[in-house]
Structure 1
């Protein structure tokens, strides 16, 4: 039988990534940190040694190692998966481990918890920048989300996670951030183990620097939500607290939590980049221009994903207690710094995955 003061065992994957490092760092400052036994799966032995200095248990390995991931999940009360939203094998390994954890004969009768990281890319359409969709998804409307076809980005893993909840051996929650902006600032960044840079805005910045002109897909009319890195980290902890202390909160198909605090068009983002390039003498015009087919091939592997709509409202997240602080204005205010980092080559070429 578990004792009353037994520690909560938490497994974190992706803990040195842009999202994961910020989420993991938040645990260090929690008043209940002393009652948590946190294990981070880290690929680099060098990073692992640094993470250990923070009072976190570390296992060196990859989320691609199914047997290792399954074993670690079987020992966890909570798994927070932030390594790869589209790795179905890794997700299934985690779920197999959590099923073993549920059936383990320790007498507590509790379902373990999985908090899985997805993204609002699951909502993306094929607008190619030519129109703003009127369709807006609501994370308080599970039927609407359930209507998404299995061919959508992230959807195969999301469906596996939801199906596991239906089977009754785990309670699952899916956090789906949108366009995340801002440099990560955390204890893990300070010790040199966390990636502090996002993806979507840096990709646009790098492409625009190379072509010396802000760009967009098509006419840039498509709309995406946005959220800061700091607010995303807060959202994960809001979901974690509710999952631990409020079992009645929706989970499974009712356990989606969008991360959004406003939305922008690709044109607006391209224009902000174009204007800032002109200011520093690296751009021709303050008006963004469409990427040519050759440029789409060069910068985005031929994808028009950046021209999609992925509109949503984070009503479930807010109902759970999430209070995002940063807005679209903060995202645009950070563009000059993103350009400076891109010019300095500090983060290397940004790539869409």
Structure 2
């Protein structure tokens, strides 16, 4: 089939940058680097990707005409990041900005005749491979706050939180793109939800292991975590709006609904688990809970090396909290 150009928006970000970098290493064997268009926002970001071998373009995603022109000029396919899931998200769209975005992307794509896919990462971790931002948001914020306060804190409720390593997430994107390039038609639109849950860890177990790891390095005063006295106290320490603090650090990727009970796993080796499910496309994550904790010092090392994520997520949450 004819070569297909792939436009990666947010190519300077943690996930987008890692997708570009990992695609260049052969995650998608049939995709040539010359067919990757990396969209970034600033000249500084463009310069960071200039030696990667991909086509780099500056793009303001709020400018619809500019986005359309970029797609047409590069003859590219814009790929996003079951009907029952869509219906649930639409009902809950105003409860969280990401849900509203998912619904908007699907409805706008359908109205324009564009095929869309929604890839939903849970708590993503690991040092990224991109040229600009190599840090996720969630875990680095917790590590930085813990080091600053000389203590690790956790929420009172012990929630199972879904995790995925950045390399497994880029591999999932790779599987979807590979299917498209092979001429297959993976489920899309309102049926095209792809959940990247690799494994789950209880929030208390994570806090226990992080406290032990930081204490062993002399970065906190106690190997045992304390409990946040309130969501407001946690929000102030972590630097996010109180409205969203538990969404970010004390919630799992699960929607309990009878309509979802028959969903298929996107993993060939995993059972159906409600919202952690989707079409089977042969995705097989390499990370699990045991491997995560075996490499928890790598999470600390990345933060000590890089500081914090170059991300606008927290700023966007403060803007959303004012609405």
Q: After TM superposition, is the score higher than 0.5?
A: yes
Shift of 1:203: 1.3
| Pair 1:277-2:245 in alignment | no
Provide the C-alpha distance between the structure 2 equivalents of 1:310 and 1:47, rounded to a whole number of angstroms: 31
Q: After the TM superposition, which residues 166-185 of structure 1 pair with which residues of structure 2 at under 5 Å, given as runs?
A: 166-167=110-111, 169-185=113-129
Contact 1:182-1:198 within 8 A present in 2 as well: yes
Higher strand share: 1
* Other structure's SS at 1:172 match: coil
Calculate the TM-score normalised by the size of structure 2.
0.77
Distance in 1 (CA, whole Å) between partners of 2:8 and 2:301 is 32
More displaced stretch, 315-324 vs 333-342: 333-342
Which residue is equivalent to 1:334? 295
Q: 142-151 vs 11-20, which deviates more? A: 142-151
2: distance between equivalents of 1:207 and 1:40?
A: 33
User: Relative to structure 2, which stretch is displaced further, 237-246 or 61-70?
Assistant: 61-70
Deviates more, 1:48-57 or 1:27-36: 27-36
1:232 Cα deviation (Å)?
0.5
Measured in 2, the distance between the counterparts of 1:35 and 1:340 equals 31
The match for 2:306 is: 346
Q: Matches of 2:93 and 2:237 in 1, distance apart? A: 29
Structure 2 counterpart SS, 1:19: helix
Which of 294, 316, 322 is 2:283 aligned to? 322
Deviates more, 1:202-211 or 1:312-321: 312-321
Higher mean C-alpha deviation, range 251-260 or range 236-245: 236-245
Q: The residue matched to 2:195 in structure 1 has which SS?
A: strand
Where does 1:1-353 land on structure 2 (aligned, <5 Å)?
5=2, 7-30=3-26, 31-34=29-32, 37-75=35-73, 78-79=76-77, 114-117=78-81, 141-148=82-89, 149-153=92-96, 154-167=98-111, 169-185=113-129, 188=130, 193-217=131-155, 219-292=156-229, 293-299=232-238, 300-302=240-242, 303-305=245-247, 306-311=249-254, 315-316=265-266, 318=268, 319-342=280-303, 344=304, 346-348=306-308, 353=314
CA distance 1:290–1:27, change in 2 (3 Å): same
Q: Matches of 1:57 and 1:345 in 2, distance apart?
A: 29
Q: Normalising to structure 1: TM-score of the pair?
A: 0.71
Q: Are the counterparts in 1 of residues 48 and 132 from structure 2 also a CA contact under 8 Å?
A: no
| Paired residue secondary structure (2:158) | coil
Give distance in 2, aligned partners of 1:212 and 1:183: 23
Q: CA deviation at 1:254?
A: 1.0
Q: What is the root-mean-square deviation in Å for CA atoms of aligned residues?
A: 2.7
Query: d(CA) in 1 for partners of 2:310 and 2:38?
Result: 25
Query: For the structure 1 residues 59 and 263, does the alpha-carbon distance in structure 2 shift closer, same or farther, using more than 3 Å as the test?
Result: same
Deviations 1:100-156 (A, max 9, x none): xxxxxxxxxxxxxx4212xxxxxxxxxxxxxxxxxxxxxxx5414522321242112
Instruction: Decide whether the 8 Å contact of 1:220 with 1:265 is kept in 2.
Output: no
Q: 1:295 to 1:349 in 2, by over 3 A?
A: farther
**Further displaced range: 11-20 or 59-68:** 59-68
Partner of 1:123 in structure 2? none
Structure 2 portions without partners, runs of 5+ = 256-262, 269-279, 315-323
Aligned residues: 284
C-alpha offsets along residues 314-338 of structure 1, whole Å, 9 cap, x if unaligned?
8135411111111122222332233
Q: CA deviation at 1:46?
A: 4.0
Q: Summarize the Cα distance change of 1:52–1:210 in structure 2 as closer, same or farther, 3 Å threshold.
A: closer
What secondary structure does 1:213 align onto?
A: coil
- Whole-Å Cα distance in 1 between the matches of residues 63 and 185 of structure 2? 34
Match of 1:101 in 2: none
Per-residue deviation at 1:169? 1.0
Contact map agreement 1:206 1:349 (CA 8 A) in 2: no
